[in-house]
Structure 1
Amino acid sequence: MRDRPQSDTRERIITAADRLFREIGYQKTTVADIARTLGMSPANVYRFFSSKKAINEAVTARCTAEIRMRLEAVAASGRPAAERMRALLLTAHQSVLELGVTDAKMQEMIAVAMAESWGVIRAHIEEVDAIITRVLRDGVASGEFVPSDPEVTGPCIRAAMMRFCHPGLLTQCHDIPRPTVEQQADFILSALGHHARS
């Protein structure tokens, strides 16, 4: 029970930091700002996080975990693999959009995370690959997809969706009308052999 208040305080700090990073930007937010929002001293914040970078890592880890939770729910839904794969790709795109990654301040936070805390981002990518690969294996086993090496094809599918799931590319490609995310998902399913079999 002694650990619960500490865990709650950590979560409060992460929540406050997330809000400030979105409102005023990562660079402009100080640990003192986060502490003031919570009615505590900066020294108390440093009891839970060694630096602002560590706080940003925790915020990023929470955001990416929310995305994976949604993807896991789709992957485990029990529908045919092709339906799950399509829903997985569309959900990945929608989840990133709902995080507000096209907002300049949110992009700043993610850019810092990618530059300074690549481990958090890399772990997220590896877990997303694992989710995609699991559905891919199901589709190959059921005959919905043509046989392939899932350890290669899974990451290729994720890479093919990069334009719709990478924060920077989402913004840069915002005014490029095609392909739509639905068209890209259908293209990937076709490449997996789904349309050829249906």
Structure 2
Amino acid sequence: MNKTPSPKVAARGPVDHEVRDQIVTAATEHFRLYGYEKTTVSDLAKAIGFSKAYIYKFFESKQAIGEMICSNCLQQIQADVRAAVDEVDSPPEKLRRMLKALVESCLRLFFLDRKLYDIAASAASGRWPATLVYEAFIEQTISDILQQGRQSGDFERKTPLDETTRAIQLIMRPCFNPLLLQHGLDTTDEAPALLSSLILRSLSP
């Protein structure tokens, strides 16, 4: 699968500076305890023992810190999807594994840690860079699987590739977008299998 570039987060200072990691770690813990909206940069500064001005040397805003945390979460989902897809050779099975991994990973990262959901929700509604990279990864992964399926004869070739890719991404959207997934929690056990079967029937040559 093609690798999707990491988002450009509005961070400052040396990229590998350990203070950056301290800030992100403290912010993650505060967001888990109190929520993204209720946590201020002043709260983080007190928790770490730094001045607020010093934190601003590394991140230009609270949103920039939130974007870093969000990016880390979304990169973990991408890693889970890559691992699931790479486990099998069959394009139809790759598609099934992709959808199943998306749902399971999103549930684990966003809904078992409810306070961090605030960040995911803000990121999705605000179209933060990390979410755009995440969606581009999903689109590219679908496209790669479709191309493999067309080459193997598993999928039809008449419909334009970009049109088919976009349609499947829209069908999958309620399963990987945190704002939408929360409204379908009662169907997450059956949705991946049912949607995969529907998609695969539409792709039959």
Pair in the same fold by TM > 0.5: yes
- Judged with a 3 Å threshold, the aligned counterparts in structure 2 of structure 1 residues 176 and 92 are, in CA distance, closer, same or farther, namely closer
Q: Please say if 1:155 is aligned against 2:162.
A: no
Provide the rounded CA distance (Å) in 1 between the counterparts of 2:175 and 2:86.
22
Number of corresponding residues: 192
Q: Please say if 1:67 is aligned against 2:77.
A: yes
Report percent identity of matched pairs.
29
Q: Which moved more, 1:62-71 or 1:135-144?
A: 62-71
Look up the SS of the partner of 1:40 in the other structure: coil
Which residue of 45, 62, 82 corresponds with 1:52?
A: 62
Give structure 1 regions of 4+ aligned residues with deviation exceeding 6 angstroms: none
Q: Please say if 1:98 is aligned against 2:108.
A: yes
The code of the aligned residue for 1:165 comes to F
More helix by share: 1
The code of the aligned residue for 2:57 comes to R
| Corresponding residue of 2:183 | 172
Q: Please say if 1:86 is aligned against 2:87.
A: no
- Judged with a 3 Å threshold, the aligned counterparts in structure 2 of structure 1 residues 153 and 111 are, in CA distance, closer, same or farther, namely same
TM-score (norm 1): 0.84
Q: CA deviation at 1:158?
A: 1.9
Q: CA deviation at 1:39?
A: 3.2
- Deviation string 1:45-91 (CA, Å, 9 cap, x unpaired) is 11110110111111111111111122223333451111111101110
- Judged with a 3 Å threshold, the aligned counterparts in structure 2 of structure 1 residues 37 and 176 are, in CA distance, closer, same or farther, namely same
- Judged with a 3 Å threshold, the aligned counterparts in structure 2 of structure 1 residues 19 and 132 are, in CA distance, closer, same or farther, namely farther
- Deviation string 1:158-192 (CA, Å, 9 cap, x unpaired) is 21122222212222223458953221122112221
Provide the rounded CA distance (Å) in 1 between the counterparts of 2:129 and 2:201.
33
Provide the rounded CA distance (Å) in 2 between the counterparts of 1:57 and 1:4.
15
- Judged with a 3 Å threshold, the aligned counterparts in structure 2 of structure 1 residues 10 and 181 are, in CA distance, closer, same or farther, namely same
Q: Please say if 1:12 is aligned against 2:22.
A: yes
* RMSD (Å), alpha carbons: 2.5
- Judged with a 3 Å threshold, the aligned counterparts in structure 2 of structure 1 residues 102 and 160 are, in CA distance, closer, same or farther, namely farther
- Structure with greater contact order relative to length (CA < 8 Å, sep ≥ 6): 2
In structure 2, stretches of 5+ residues that fail to align are 1-13
